[in-house]
Amino acid sequence: MSAMTITDFKPVAAGALRGFCDVTMPSGMTLHRCGIFAKDGRTCAAPPSKQVIGRDGTVQRDASGKTRYEPTVSFADRPTQERWSSAVIEALRMAHPEALA
């Protein structure tokens, strides 16, 4: 396997969120539920994240009441993350051209 592939896409329309996809990396590793976002003419992909759960077992919220999330995957630096995001968006456009139409 030499290219990143999208193995699943589930559309969601909520603010900038356009959906979630599973991304299979050239290594064979699959990242499940990567977020796809579009806003102000820009699109990007975000690696999976999880809700922050407090010691009392409740979902933690920020000052505006939105659920807090923490990353489950990180990148060495911002340029590396942006290259990954661009590659995911390119693979998504090839596999599901309707996803960002």
CATH number at residue 75: 3.30.1120
Single-letter amino acid, residue 83: R
Instruction: Provide the residue range defining the domain that includes 34.
Output: 5-100
> Is the distance from CB of 32 to CB of 10 less than 8 angstroms?
no
Task: Give how far the C-alpha of residue 1 lies from the chain's centroid of Cα atoms, to the nearest Å.
Answer: 21
pLDDT of residue 2: 56
- Overall number of domains in the chain: 1
The ranges of the chain with pLDDT < 70 are 1-2
